[in-house]
Structure 1
């Protein structure tokens, strides 16, 4: 019963936060600004095709763009929200409520998930009308797009919460995480098949969910004529679901424990100390 109450509390909180985001132009731009930029780039590239193939540059790039938005939402947005609300005292107030931390985590996951889906829709929906050859598979690619997106969110959101629990400020979090994350993006081939990379790099990339996210999204958009560039010349849907599912299960098991441990260290004194350090930086 307590678990169901916590989930209901979190879902209600997440929905309220989602609606409130649309009342702030600054918050909306922070979530959706990248989508507008990516869409503009795709429109600029809409006339070209990939050399040696009939596949349009827009269709080849779209899976990578959606994957980047999902990664930024699931990891970076969650991490920054958590560290910001830890710094301004929101998390301390949640801790004081019955089932507050569990509800806080569920609410944050729902809020970020909805905003991430919205950011992806801003690129995808207009793209269907202005970009040629975007849905080479037609309607058959939609179920794949849906399940890969949902599993991708579950495989990234908990780790954004975990990382947010480890840093005391959003600036420190971004500074520590951005460089490794960009390196992972490069070796995971989210914008291109990693078969062109050295074999040790390929094996390393396949450990992380980002490679499988890119592969799954490519399988939703690209025709089977693109398979020769993939490892094993296969979309490997079963392996994609298995790896993303495993990362999701592990993350969902670890994140609440890490968040509770971090919350136990939160206090009014700790909050005031962080505010004092922030004021010194501003000064």
Structure 2
């Protein structure tokens, strides 16, 4: 790796840690970090005594690892929102103007989004282990599975988030992502096992990373008997790794191309025009 690239990586790492620290000390951002994990924790707490069918497992127990997977998948939306906002206010233009600035910028955003996600998951999981019965984290195998699913899931989703962020020129356009994501979550077995859904819905869910992230998390945190409610009564670790790896390869191949093209189209005049349109909307 060249000296300039090494410098960009170091700068990106430092920038990401600084932004993460700012995020965790800013009242508004801190509220966002806590709001959804606490809301999901309350939801699973009230589901802890609701049994799924004739099984001995509660919906709350089944939902906890699925929500972890959902949040990891939603990191792509967070990544997309940050890129769009920084493109709108000129941050990306400043990054483009420095040597290897885009590399440093992307590394910084990956560090910041990943670190924030770890905080969000900890806020949800640590109390969840105490409040929701039936979760299993007794051995190193559970934590190892949790780790590789989480890391591979980030590699599968964050580049796609970068691509999505480069598509939208305004933060207002990000609202277009919310409805499809909610629909995808609804069919991905987050709050209810996917096997109760029609086969066409199951097929759609299995194309995208959210379902496989949830499945991988469930395989790490649920007892062996819980596999009975899964497709084929199997945790399908090989399939999980394969689908997530395929998304990772796709994202890592497409994201640099899209971001380079997006960066070439950035200039002071385009940023000024976007600001003018934003001011007109406010007025």
TM-score range, shorter chain: over 0.9
Q: Secondary structure at the match of 2:107?
A: helix
Q: Is the 8 A contact 2:70 2:210 kept in 1?
A: no
Question: Where does structure 2 lack aligned partners over 5 or more consecutive residues?
Answer: none
Q: Structure 2 length as normaliser, TM-score? A: 0.92
Alpha-carbon distance, 1:200 to partner:
3.2
Q: CA offset at residue 196 of structure 1?
A: 2.6
Whether 1:141 aligns to 2:142 is yes
- Deviation for aligned residue 1:51: 4.0
On the 8 A contact 2:48/2:58 being kept in 1, the answer is yes
For 2:256, the equivalent position in structure 1 comes to 256
> Match of 1:188, SS?
coil
8 A contact 2:212–2:240 mirrored in 1 = yes
2:17 is aligned with 1:15: yes
The residue that corresponds to 1:233 in the other structure is 233
Map of 1:150 onto structure 2:
151
The alpha carbon displacement at 1:40 in A equals 2.2
Using the alignment, how far apart are the partners of 2:156 and 2:255 within structure 1? 12
Q: 1:129 to 1:139 in 2, by over 3 A?
A: farther
Q: Decide whether the 8 Å contact of 2:67 with 2:214 is kept in 1.
A: no
Rounded Cα–Cα distance in structure 2 between residues aligned with 1:222 and 1:35 = 20
Within the alignment, does 1:120 sit opposite 2:108 as a pair?
Answer: no
More deviation, 155-164/221-230: 221-230
Q: Distance in 2 between matches of 1:227 and 1:47?
A: 19
Number of matched residues? 281
Name the counterpart of 2:199: 199
Shift of 1:48: 4.1
Select which of 25, 28, 34 maps to 2:27: 25
| 1:98-153 per-position Cα deviation (integer Å, ceiling 9, x unaligned) | 10011111110111011011101101012222322222765532211111111111
Q: CA deviation at 1:87?
A: 1.2
Contact 1:151 1:244 in 2 (8 A): yes
Distance 1:219 1:76 in 2: 25
In the alignment, the residues of structure 2 paired with residue 199 and residue 140 of structure 1 have an alpha-carbon distance, to the nearest angstrom, of 32
Query: CA separation in 1, counterparts of 2:78 and 2:49?
Result: 33
Give the alignment's TM-score, normalised by structure 1: 0.92
The CA deviation at 1:79 is 1.0
The whole-number CA distance in structure 2 between the counterparts of 1:168 and 1:141 is 41
Where in structure 1 are there 5+ consecutive unaligned residues? none
Cα deviations by residue, 1:231-262 (Å, 9 ceiling, x for unpaired)? 22110101111110111122122112211211
The answer on whether the counterparts of 1:59 and 1:221 sit within 8 Å (CA) in structure 2 is: no
Deviation digits for residues 18-58 of structure 1, max 9, x if unmatched? Answer: 11212211122223321121122223333444342222332
SS of the equivalent of 1:191 reads: coil
Helix, strand or coil for the counterpart of 2:25? coil
Distance 1:225 1:137 in 2: 16
1:181 deviates by 1.4
Matched, 1:172 2:158: no
In 2, are the aligned partners of 1:212 and 1:240 still within 8 Å (CA)? yes
CA distance in 1, matches of 2:91, 2:32: 19
Report the counterpart of residue 57 of structure 2 in structure 1: 55
The aligned residue for residue 186 of structure 2 is 186
1:22 match: secondary structure: helix
CA contact (8 A) 1:190 1:215 kept: no
After alignment, is 181-190 or 145-154 more displaced?
181-190
**Counterparts of 1:276 and 1:137, CA distance in 2:** 56
